[in-house]
Structure 1
Amino acid sequence: MLRRLVALVVVLPLLAVLLVVADSPFPDRLGPGRDAPAALVALGDSTMSGEGAGSYEPGTDGENDNWCHRSTKASVHSTTVPGVDRVFNLACSGTSAEQVGVGANDDPGSQARQLARIAREYRVTTVVVAMGANDDPKFGDVLGACLRAWFDRADCSKGLADEWRSRVDRMVPKVERALRDIRQVLRDEGYTPLSYTLVVQSYAAPVGPDLPNDLQNLAGCPLRTGDLRWVRDTAVGELSSGLRKAASAVGARFLDLSKAGAKREACAGGKNQDSEWFTRLTVDFDGLRDEVRARHALQESFHPNARGHAQFGRCMTEFLATQSREASCVADRDGNLTPVTNRD
Structure 2
Amino acid sequence: MRPSGWLVLFLVLVVVTFGLTGDHRFPAPRPLPGPPEDAPRVIVAMGDSTISGEGAGDYETGTNGEKGNWCHRSANASIFQVRVPGVEKAYNLACSGAPSAQVGLGDVEQYTEISQAKQLARIAARNRVTAVVVASGANDDPAFSHVLDSCVQAWAGRELPCSQSVGPRWERRVDKMIPKLTNALRDIRTVMHNAGYQRGDYSLVVQSYAAPVGTDVARGLQDLSGCPFLSEDLRWVEEEAVPVLTAGVRTAARNVDARFLDLSRAGIGREACTSERDPDSEWFRRLAVEWNDLQHDDRATHALQESFHPNANGHEQFGQCLSEFLTSVDRAAACLPGREGNLHAAASPE
Query: Which category of TM-score, normalised to the shorter sequence, fits these structures?
Result: over 0.9
Which residue in 2 is equivalent to 1:3? none
SS in 2 for 1:220: coil
Relative distance call for 1:98 and 1:12 in structure 2 (3 A) is closer
Tell me the residue number matched to 1:122. 127
Cα distance per residue 1:269-322 (max 9 Å; x no partner): 122101100000000100000011000000000000000000000000001111
Q: Give the equivalent residue in structure 2 for 1:76.
A: 79
Give the letter aligned to residue 137 of structure 1: P
Which residue in 2 is equivalent to 1:42? Answer: 45
The partner residue of 2:213 within 186, 204, 207 is 207
Following TM superposition, by how much is the alpha carbon of 1:140 offset from its aligned partner in structure 2, in angstroms?
Answer: 0.4
Q: State the Cα distance separating 1:34 from its structure 2 match.
A: 1.1
Give the deviation of 1:213 after TM superposition. Answer: 3.5
Question: CA 1:33 to 1:222, structure 2 compared with 1: closer, same or farther past 3 Å?
Answer: same
Q: 1:238-277, aligned counterparts within 5 Å?
A: 238-277=244-283
Q: Which of 111, 114, 117 in structure 2 is aligned with 1:109? A: 114
Distance 1:143 1:77 in 2: 27
Structure 1: where are the runs of 5+ without partners?
1-5
For residues 116 and 89 of structure 1, what CA distance do their matches in structure 2 show?
A: 14
Length-normalised TM-score, structure 2: 0.91
2:6 is matched with none
Residue in structure 1 matched with residue 31 of structure 2 by the alignment: 27
Query: Separation in 2 of the partners of 1:28 and 1:211?
Result: 54
Matched residues, number: 336
CA distance in 2, matches of 1:178, 1:8: 41
Tell me which residue corresponds to 2:4: none
**Does the 8 Å contact 2:102/2:108 carry over to 1?**
no
1:217–1:45 Cα change, 3 Å:
same
The one-letter code matched in structure 1 to 2:73 is R
1:313-336 deviations in Å (ceiling 9; x for gaps)? 000000111111101111000000
Work out the CA distance in 1 between the residues paired with 2:307 and 2:96. Answer: 12
Q: Does 2:214 correspond to 1:219? A: no
Question: Structure 1: which amino acid aligns with 2:43?
Answer: L
Contact 2:209 / 2:246 at 8 angstroms: preserved in 1? yes
Return closer, same or farther for 1:13/1:112 CA change in 2, 3 Å cut-off. same
- Match 2:202 to one of 196, 206, 217: 196
What percent of counterpart residues are identical? 53
Instruction: Tell me the alpha carbon deviations over residues 134-191 of structure 1, each in whole angstroms, 9 at most, x when there is no partner.
Output: 0000000000000000000742211211100000000000000000000001111111
Q: Distance in 2 between matches of 1:212 and 1:109?
A: 42
Instruction: Report the TM-score when normalising by structure 1.
Output: 0.93
State the distance in 2 between where 1:9 and 1:157 align.
Answer: 65
Displacement, 1:104? 4.3
Kindly indicate whether residue 154 of structure 2 is the aligned counterpart of residue 136 of structure 1. no
**Which residue matches 1:88?**
91
Tell whether 2:51 aligns with 1:51. no
Kindly indicate whether the alpha-carbon contact (under 8 Å) linking 2:142 and 2:174 is maintained by their aligned counterparts in 1: yes
Taking the aligned partners of 1:315 and 1:102, their CA distance within structure 2 comes to 29
Letter in 2 for 1:141: H
**1:86 and 1:323 mapped to 2: Cα distance?**
21
Q: Check whether the contact 2:32–2:195 (CA below 8 A) recurs between aligned residues.
A: no
Q: Check the 8 A contact 2:285/2:311 in 1, yes or no.
A: yes
Matches of 1:197 and 1:289 in 2, distance apart? 45
* Cα separation, 1, equivalents of 2:108 and 2:66: 25
AA aligned to 1:168 is: V
Whole-angstrom distance in 2 between the partners of 1:51 and 1:270: 24
SS in 1 for 2:179: helix
Cα 1:12–1:329, aligned 2, differ >3 Å: closer, same or farther? closer
Displacement of 1:105 in angstroms is 7.1
Partner secondary structure for residue 60 of structure 2 = coil
